[in-house]
Copies of this chain bind each other. A is one copy, B any other.
Amino acid sequence: MPSQSLRLGIAGLGTVGVGVLRILRKQAVLLEKRTGSTLTISAVSARDRSKDRGVSLSDCGWEDDPVALAKREDVDVFVELMGGADGAAKAAVEAALNAGKDVVTANKAMLALHGQALAERAEAAGRVLRYEAAVAGGIPVIKALTEGLAGNEITRVLGVMNGTCNYILTRMEETGQGYNALFDECARLGYLEADPTLDVGGIDAAHKLAILSSIAFGTQVDFDGIEIEGIERVTLDDIRHAADMGYRIKLLGVAQQTGRGLEQRMMPCLVPAASPLGVLQGGTNMVVLEGDAVEQIVLRGPGAGEGPTASAVLGDICDIARSIRLPVFGQPASGLKQSKPARAILPAPYYLRMALVDKPGALAKIASVLGEAGVSIDRMRQYGHADETAPVLIVTHKCTREALDAALSAMSGTGVLASDPVVLRIEAV
């Protein structure tokens, strides 16, 4: 069988783009065996043509303008690795689709914010738009969810999807250093995005969650419907106290259908210390997929880096070379429903940390306020203390966020709280 040829145009030659070039060259023979196609690079585009990237560009064309690259006659697949939700990346992807090219991208922000419009455009043009590298780096989670678990009604998707946040949280526990010191360490190590709030503010991870939700629940990507809280306010005290109660704090994304809409949240949560998510250390990512038939699948792997991210991009390119052509979010974009955002509808146990004024009856007041709001206490600890406030930890039984908020509001009127309580949800895994 004579080999076919698939001609690529690659826009963006940062870490990932260079990684893709390296694999295409190093593994040319293997890739041809696996796909039945020769994968060639017609041209590339990046900001600075003269920069030394450690890979030769002499055998492929160059375009200063990614939009021009996207439209080239000799490009079958446009590979967008520039990043940025809007601007050049989006313009080039749109141009490529309009010109009848398939598209592979690693751009989570673009998909989280414009996924529905881009999917409609791709499907109208009869083109595919693939983005395995956009979620959880090297883990083939888009493929697992869209294809491997296609026989399941997905019940919950959750995971740790930002390696930098997980690195900071696990290093806080290991080293006893506070958030600020570890933020600085990450900045020195180059672990942070140019705008670090994308990482530590939970936004980058929420982009990924929005994409997974859409596939899992057949809904239009709804980034704005995600309740987002970053890790900036996680303290060493909470990390230690959570550990004391058998938990670890993770920046956890959770998406699930409730009777009253789609709940999507990305926020610091407690998970059992011995669970797969609890034992996840450092920059590794983990996604948990739950379905009515498969029960629970856990996927773990590197969430970033040249090799892993390029591996995911290559997976998409090989799929296209092998004529694997699916709707962008696993079913036609025209049939995706708008989801109704639901906020913390389902009951869960909560972790509460509070500092009580050290007076007789203080704890009793807190306990009775919780009881009146219908929040029952699973476990409680009061710690020894040298100053005038008594540290108290409470793990509640499952309760609604509504009931808990009522209790918290009543608590603030008791006069026994020395400061605002810390409230963290405990996610069962």
Q: At the interface, yes or no: A308 with Cβ under 8 Å from chain B?
A: yes
The answer to whether A138 has its CB under 8 Å from any CB of chain B is: yes
A421 at the interface (CB under 8 A from B): no
- Give the residue name and chain of the B residue nearest to A330 (CB): B34
State the Cβ distance, A170 to closest chain B Cβ, in Å. Answer: 13
Residues facing B in A125-156 (CB within 8 A) are: 132, 138-140, 143-144, 147-153
Which residue of B33, B312, B330 contacts A335 across the interface (Cβ within 8 Å)? Answer: B33
- A294-B300 in contact (CB<8A): no
**What residues on B are CB-neighbors of A322 within 8 Å?**
147, 326
**Residues of B close to A178: CB separation below 8 A:** none
Residue from B274, B276, B301, B324 within 8 A of A147 (CB atoms) = B324
Residues of B within 8 A of A315 (CB): 147-151
Q: Which of B31, B151, B299, B335 contacts A318 (CB 8 A)?
A: B151
Residues of B within 8 A of A19 (CB): 293
This chain: copies in complex? 2
Question: Is the beta-carbon distance between B300 and A276 smaller than 8 angstroms?
Answer: yes
In the complex, are the beta carbons of B147 and A319 less than 8 A apart? Answer: yes
A193 an interface residue at 8 Å Cβ cutoff? no
Taking CB atoms, residues of chain B closer than 8 Å to A324 are 147, 324
Say whether A35 faces chain B, with CB atoms less than 8 Å apart: yes
- Given the known A-B contacts A140-B148, A151-B310, A151-B315, are A297 and B295 also in contact in the complex, defined by CB atoms under 8 Å? no
- Kindly state whether residue A292 has any CB partner on chain B within 8 Å: yes
A240 smallest CB distance to B (angstroms): 20
Within 8 A of B (CB), among A306-346: 307-308, 310-315, 317-319, 322-326, 330-332, 335
Given known A294-B307, A295-B138, contact A318–B27 (CB-CB < 8 A): no
**How many angstroms between the C-alpha atoms of A332 and B37 in the bound complex?**
13
Complex Cα gap A352–B151 (Å): 47
Closest to A286 in B: B298
Indicate if A414 sits at the interface (CB-CB under 8 A). no
User: Contact: B34 with A297, CB < 8 Å?
Assistant: no
Determine how close the nearest CB of chain B comes to the CB of A32; give it in whole angstroms: 9
User: How far apart are A143's CB and chain B's nearest CB, in angstroms?
Assistant: 5
Chosen A-B contacts, 11 in total, with CB atoms closer than 8 Å, are A23-B151, A33-B218, A140-B144, A147-B147, A147-B318, A149-B315, A291-B311, A293-B311, A298-B301, A300-B300, A323-B323
15 additional contacts, CB 8 Å, given A144-B144, A297-B299, A323-B325?
A: A33-B218, A33-B331, A139-B297, A147-B147, A150-B319, A151-B314, A152-B314, A279-B279, A293-B310, A293-B314, A294-B301, A294-B307, A297-B300, A297-B301, A322-B326
